[in-house]
Amino acid sequence: MLVPKMTVSRTLVSLDGLWSFRPDKDDQATTESWHLGIPKAWTIAVPASYNDLYTEAWIRDFVGDIWYQKDVELTPIEGRVVLRFGSATHRATVFMNGIELGSHEGGFLPFEFDVTAIIRPGANRIVVKINNTLSYHSLPAGRVDVKWNGTKFHHPAFDFFNYSGLHRSVELYTTPENHIEDVTLIPSFQGTTGIIDYTIKVTSDDASTVVELLDGQTVLSKSEGTSGRLEVDHCRPWHPEDPYLYDVRITHGQDVYTLKTGIRTVKVLGHTLLVNDKPVYLTGFGKHDDFEVIGKGLNLPVMIRDFELLKWIGANSVRTTHYPYPEAFYELCDRYGILVIDEVPAVGMWKRSSDLSVMGKKPFFEEDGVMTKTLANHKRQLEEMVARDKNHPSVILWSVANEPASDEVASRPYFEAIFAHARTLDPQNRPISFVNCAIAPPEKCQVSDLSDIIMLNRYQGWYAFSGAKFPLAKGDLKHELTRWAAKYDKPIVITEYGADTLSGLHKLPAIMFSEEYQNELFEAYHEVFDQIPHVIGEHPWNFADFNTEQGLTRVDGNKKGVFTRIRQPKMVAHALRQRWIDIKNTTKK
Ligand code: BDP
Residues framing ligand 1 (Cβ under 6 A): 159, 322, 402-403, 457, 496, 541, 558, 560
CA of 496 to the centre of ligand 1 (A): 8
Domains in the chain: ranges and CATH: 17-168 (2.60.120.260), 180-261 (2.60.40.10), 273-584 (3.20.20.80)
Sign for the CA dihedral angle at 364, 481, 270, 343 comes to positive
Please tell me the distance between residue 386's alpha carbon and the centre of ligand 1 in angstroms: 24
**Of all atoms in ligand 1, which is nearest to the CA of residue 322?**
8
Q: Which of 171, 384, 403, 515 is catalytic?
A: 403
Q: Please determine, for residue 231, whether its predicted confidence score (pLDDT) is greater than 80.
A: yes
- pLDDT surpassing 70 at residue 63: yes
Rounded distance, CA 573 to CA 565, Å?
A: 14
Torsion of Cα atoms, 160 then 162 then 164 then 168, to 10°: 20
Residue with more model confidence, 465 or 358: 465
Q: What is the structure's pLDDT at 363? A: 81
Q: Cα–Cα distance between 58 and 37 in angstroms, integer? A: 23
- Site to probe by mutation for ligand 1, drawn from 351, 399, 541 as the one with most ligand atoms within 8 Å of Cβ, is 541
| Per-residue CA distances from 388 to 16, 200, 342, 403 (Å) | 21, 14, 11, 24
Report percent pLDDT > 70 for the chain.
97
Residue 354 confidence (pLDDT): 55
- How does pLDDT run across 415-429, given as a tens digit for each residue? 999 999 999 999 999
Read off the pLDDT band of 357 (50, 70, 90): very low
Mean pLDDT of all residues in the chain? 95
Are 279 and 536 spatial neighbours (Cβ–Cβ below 8 Å)?
yes
The Cα–Cα gap between 284 and 171 comes to 32
Span from the CA of 159 to the centroid of ligand 1 (angstroms) = 6
To the query of whether residue 112 is one of the catalytic residues in this protein, the response is no
Tell whether the model's pLDDT for residue 360 goes beyond 90.
no
Measured between alpha carbons, how far is 115 from 81 in angstroms, rounded to an integer?
A: 6
Distance 497 CA to ligand 1 centre (A): 9
- Counts of helices then strands in the chain (DSSP H, E): 8, 34
370-396 burial: b if 16+ Cβ within 10 Å, else e? bbeebbebbbbbbbbbbbbbbbbbbbb
CA of 402 relative to ligand 1 center, distance in Å: 9
Nearest-angstrom CA–CA distance, 108 and 111:
10
Cα–Cα dist 417/376, whole Å: 10
Helix axes 515-529, 473-487, angle to 10 degrees: 30
Question: What's the confidence (pLDDT) of residue 358?
Answer: 47
| Ligand 1 pocket test, candidate residues 159, 320, 500, most atoms within 8 A of CB | 159
Q: Convert the pLDDT of each residue in 387-416 to its tens digit.
A: 999 999 999 999 999 999 999 999 999 999
Indicate the pLDDT class of residue 30, thresholds 50, 70 and 90.
Answer: very high
Q: What is the CA radius of gyration of the chain?
A: 24
CA atoms of 6 and 10, how far apart (whole Å): 5
- The answer to whether 125 touches 41, Cβ cutoff 8 Å, is no
The residue whose CA is least distant from atom 2 of ligand 1 is 159
Please give the pLDDT value at position 364. 85
Cis upstream peptide for 402 (omega within 30°): no
Q: What are phi and psi of 542, to 5 degrees?
A: -130, 170
Query: Which of 384, 496, 515, 538 does the annotation list as catalytic?
Result: 496
Question: Can 100 be counted among the known catalytic residues?
Answer: no
Summarize pLDDT for 492-540 with one digit per residue, the tens.
999 999 999 999 999 999 999 999 999 999 999 999 999 999 999 999 9
Q: Is residue 125 classed as helix, strand or coil in its secondary structure?
A: strand
Q: How far is the CA of 213 from the centre of ligand 1 (A)?
A: 43
8 Å CB contact between 277 and 264: no
Q: Is the pLDDT of residue 588 over 60?
A: no
Q: Exposed, middle or buried, 503 (CB in 10 Å: 0-12/13-18/19+)? A: middle
Cα first-last separation, the chain? 38
Rounded distance between C-alpha atoms, residue 200 and residue 66, angstroms: 38
Amino acid identity of 269?
L
Give the residue-averaged pLDDT of 315-333.
Answer: 98
pLDDT score at 77:
87
Predicted local confidence at residue 396, as pLDDT: 98
DSSP 221-269: EEEESSEEEEEETT---EETTEE--EEEEEEETTEEEEEEE----EEEE
Mutate to test the pocket of ligand 1, among 437, 457, 463, 512 (most ligand atoms within 8 A of CB): 457
Rounded to whole angstroms, how far apart are CA atoms 398 and 381? 12
